[in-house]
Structure 1
């Protein structure tokens, strides 16, 4: 009986330390079928499910809009390479995929203005180019007139493989069968009054849903359809929301991006974006290849290099692209550039083209130019597993028992410390912000996502869960542009790295099972040890 009680308690603790049950979620804003029903087989042939390679569980949805292109949400694929996932078309039951079509992704096209670190960023739209064309019915795109004709309560239908229930923090009860739900349209004036997060919604989105009927995690990127006089049309893309089944959800308005979509399904295939990661300042180059997969010539002329929106720090060394790239032809351009300052930025290769509504074609490289943090900082951080430490021009330094941001930071300046390639585990530390101004702040990012922003005079203990095999943690201390504080800075101390609590418990349970002959029960003493471990870790965090 003792064994059973301990196993139950430990199981509860293990769940509470897992990402699905943890209170320290990235944000209350969710990547948001609640209140719906099973769809009918063959009703939604253009439904796309994004899955890991050779896996049968979708992490996002999408819509087939032409024989070679799928429309989805940018937040579903930002930071991913085409080789990271694939598309399941005409999937209905993830346990029975004999009639589904699995296709690899060739290229990903994101909206250039999408902000990857902003959970509620506008322009949450992306196009996936498939490695080969498919012969499956495609969704018909809505137009502006159809969306403008919607009134409060107009029925819309959305579909997906997302969670069917929500506990206020996370979704659960993920189905294997495609679900659908009818949602009421909510006009923007009313939607903006529902939640403070909706107050700044722009023209590129709309709202739909009500209490008990909504999309949820796993439905992101999927379609929502309008039902007008001209029939059922793809009106939006599942984007985000605040809790599932409580407030209306936010959907990217397809008609608002009509020209952008048409430009990116025209047939020009190229690597549109790449994250270079952490780099050093200096000169470098990148090659770009363009392939015309359409039946018509595509204009590509006057290429130029822009660094953070400016010309003069880059040039074209090789360009064998003719001004009219023939159907079926491909060409190459090599862009050279020089990075002069430590900062995050973007290098853009831009070509003029009358073949596109926007009048140009753009491909870009995102970079994070940093310098080595130095031997003194490296020595201070030697308690951590093998990693790399970087800083920007406003270097972090060791001050006695502390690691701190730069001395004498000027107004509107940032002092950054970046820890790269940290292994899976928990990173813990004590922080203390020293400033006389309430807007001076420390923002912490884990793998590019903002975890928390701490303001003046804040002091406390922080634990960051690192779930990837290799993780990057960024400490960004900012002195506000109107700050009057003298030597505004942040201090870190007692920096440590250890195994995730869940991983540690799993290891102990596995070892205990081996020692007990595979029975799987846990000894009373080991159980008490685990409980003590959990208690100590939790009490320190409080």
Structure 2
């Protein structure tokens, strides 16, 4: 094709022969024709997924038995359940929407309390100081339909409290925790978590004025009763069912105690805290045995049905 082009171009001039220099000139022209540049390549970057709604955002400015005091309002979803507007919390709970609180069924079962008997400490940190303390009243208690007590254990130990008016979740010190997706929740086993509460600081001791936290590590249920952990000294291992999750304190000696029931067990999932458990029944305070939690992932669909029945539909799962 190039030779044909040379002949044609040389033939255009009738007065000048096609010399070697002319052929070289034309050849260079042909070999350096402008080409169309290839289209620019584009790279698509995938942004980290974020929750579809705002939840699980802590308030940290720096970085429970033998636990440590939390920073003021570090966990804005944490609430305390009291019998009046001045007492120390007898149980914990967590905000999951501006009208709903997640807690333990044993804390609010009908034979103990009526809804009007329960007052909720919202946005609190120092339970002994009523300054800037907010309170909510409970209008409805919904206990999981499969809740039951067997021996020393609780199963489906979950309840949702509906408060009589919206909580101020727009404030920095008040906000909902994220819920996991419905499922078995094995992805949260073998992970470090945080548990919070105003419970006793030692067996037979007194409650903490300040909200306390402890680091724990979850485990598969099969590990709860192996030779390393031997939950309940092996006599009630059949109580470790799939609606329960076990966790061991890290280091040993820190963990939950009386008054911490109903409080949240949370996992830091790329900056957003997800509630994977509810403090249910515990080994003797501060020993090296695992504590047990109601497994939230098993009841998310039920929680959402309560939310929808209330007309809110604002619970956030990630």
Tell me if both proteins adopt one fold, taking TM over 0.5 as the criterion.
yes
1:487-538 Cα distance to aligned partner (Å, 9 max, x none) = xxxxxxxxxxxxxxxxxxxxxxxxxxxxxxxxxxxxxxxxxxxxxxxxxxxx
> Which of 260, 268, 278 in structure 2 is aligned with 1:219?
260
Alignment of 1:104-123 (within 5 A): 104-115=137-148, 119-123=152-156
Inter-CA distance 116–108: structure 2 relative to 1 (3 Å threshold): farther
Q: Is the 8 A contact 2:186 2:220 kept in 1?
A: no
Q: Is the 8 A contact 2:149 2:155 kept in 1?
A: no
Question: Which protein is bigger by CA-based radius of gyration?
Answer: 2
Partner of 1:352: none
Q: In the aligned structure 1, how far is the partner of 2:114 from the partner of 2:254?
A: 33
Shift of 1:242: 2.4
Partner of 2:6: none
> Which of 65, 75, 78 in structure 1 is aligned with 2:96?
65
Partner of 1:265: 307
Q: Is the 8 A contact 1:186 1:248 kept in 2?
A: no
Partner of 1:141: 179
Alignment of 1:243-262 (within 5 A): 243-246=284-287, 247-262=289-304
Q: In the aligned structure 2, how far is the partner of 1:62 from the partner of 1:251?
A: 13
Partner of 2:164: 131
1:368-391 Cα distance to aligned partner (Å, 9 max, x none) = xxxxxxxxxxxxxxxxxxxxxxxx
> Which of 207, 214, 218 in structure 2 is aligned with 1:174?
207
Shift of 1:200: 3.0
Partner of 2:128: 95
> Which of 267, 272, 283 in structure 2 is aligned with 1:242?
283
Q: Is the 8 A contact 1:146 1:228 kept in 2?
A: no
Which structure features the higher share of strand residues?
A: 1
Q: Is the 8 A contact 1:226 1:234 kept in 2?
A: yes
TM-score (norm 1): 0.41
1:223-274 Cα distance to aligned partner (Å, 9 max, x none) = 0111234632111100002211221100011111011100111143xxxxxx
Q: In the aligned structure 2, how far is the partner of 1:260 from the partner of 1:103?
A: 23
Tell me, what secondary structure is at the counterpart of 1:58?
coil
Q: In the aligned structure 2, how far is the partner of 1:213 from the partner of 1:164?
A: 9
RCO greater where, 1 or 2, for CA within 8 Å and sep 6 or more? 2
Runs of 4+ in 1 over 6 A off after TM superposition: none
Shift of 1:294: 4.8
List gaps (5 residues or longer) in structure 2: 1-63, 170-174, 314-318
> Which of 207, 228, 238 in structure 1 is aligned with 2:269?
228
Shift of 1:97: 2.7
Tell me, what secondary structure is at the counterpart of 1:209?
strand
Q: In the aligned structure 2, how far is the partner of 1:163 from the partner of 1:184?
A: 21
List gaps (5 residues or longer) in structure 1: 1-32, 269-292, 296-542
Shift of 1:126: 0.1
Q: Is the 8 A contact 1:192 1:200 kept in 2?
A: no
Partner of 2:60: none
Q: In the aligned structure 2, how far is the partner of 1:142 from the partner of 1:99?
A: 31
Q: In the aligned structure 2, how far is the partner of 1:117 from the partner of 1:87?
A: 28
Tell me, what secondary structure is at the counterpart of 1:199?
helix
Q: Is the 8 A contact 2:93 2:102 kept in 1?
A: yes
Indicate the larger mover: 117-126 or 132-141: 117-126
1:14-50 Cα distance to aligned partner (Å, 9 max, x none) = xxxxxxxxxxxxxxxxxxx012100000211111100
Shift of 1:135: 2.1
Alignment of 1:389-400 (within 5 A): none
TM-score (norm 2): 0.69
Inter-CA distance 259–146: structure 2 relative to 1 (3 Å threshold): closer
1:407-426 Cα distance to aligned partner (Å, 9 max, x none) = xxxxxxxxxxxxxxxxxxxx
